[in-house]
Amino acid sequence: MKTKIILDTDPGIDDVFAILFAEAHPDIELKGITTIYGNVTIENATRNALYLKQKFQLQADIVTGASKPIVRPPVGPTVVVHGEGGFGDVNVPAEVEGQADPRPAYQYIIDAVKAEPGEITLVAIGPLTNLALALQADPSIVDLVNKVVIMGGAFGENGHRGNVTPFAEANVHDDPHAADMVLTASWPVVVIGLDVTEQSFFTRDYLDQLRDNAGDVGQFIWDVSRFYLRFYSEKVGLDACHVHDPSAIAYVINPELFTLREGPIRVVVDGVAEGMTIQKIDDRVYPHDEWMNQSPQQVAVTVKDAELLELYRHSIINYAVRLK
């Protein structure tokens, strides 16, 4: 049985990897792509999503989301990682075919989960503003979603604590207030954070093989990855890139790739540790405890990286065959 998902995304380079993965795998029905600022401006995010829909004949609705965080000042697009337009060296035309759904993303999410209660999984791979706005507008949706899967956060497992500050991951840091709202809501959440996404790598050789074996899809992934790999080489010191956003899709397809740890989560919303995610994993009762009355959520702490990489490769190659 297919898992129906709405993918909330700020289409930069690794978002491309994730969107095509979701479209490629036969166990996922990609119903909607809601866009969010983050890697790019909201205008570029929606244009990039419409471009992918046009290029790969996606059936998903494209819906424009929030342009800024709920409280904090915007951080701005991560041009150094994803390029000016979000797809690295690949330029998206100023005018693309198709139109976005007229509803704001938060309303689209509310309408979708009400239309199919218990059937839709929300997968968020950018800042969490759209999900927080949906919660604010209609708190009842916590009982209507199947699950919420988030690529974001870092909990110190496997030595991974942050990528934009020493203790904060980019998606959470972009809107920590939204993240705290989403992670403390009573819906079931699985967090796929840096603890596991930085344990998997797309190497140059891996991406070269996709280019050679996965037709136009593999070529496009290879093309957008050039800028990303330069960033990783020059700024991070790696001859490969981490598998961030596709890891959230991999969890939806095969949860057994990951080991999860349960406990309530809070997000630091200001100060030097802004965007830090902290999970309470003991049952001790403390005199002062901002975690005690919050819903327990799941955090991924280990990943079967070789199996994840093979799942991705197999999915994209089979997808390329279907597109011929």
Catalytic residue check, 244: yes
Neighbours of 216 (CB within 10 A): 12
Domains within the chain, CATH numbers bracketed: 3-323 (3.90.245.10)
d(CA 132, CA 90): 32
H-helix or E-strand containing 189? strand 189-192
**How many whole angstroms separate alpha carbon 246 and alpha carbon 252?**
10
Which DSSP letter does residue 221 get?
A: H
149, 248 contact by CB (below 8 A): yes
Q: Which candidate in 82, 244, 288, 314 is catalytic?
A: 244
Q: What is the pLDDT of residue 324?
A: 83
Locate 107 and state its tokens.
Answer: 């309303």
Q: How far is residue 265's CA from residue 278's CA, in Å, rounded to a whole number?
A: 6
Residue 133: what pLDDT? 99
pLDDT, mean of each 10-residue run, the chain (324 residues): 97 98 98 98 98 97 98 96 97 94 98 98 99 98 98 98 98 98 98 98 98 98 98 96 98 98 98 98 96 97 98 98 90
Per-residue pLDDT at 1: 84
pTM of the model: 0.98
pLDDT at 225: 98
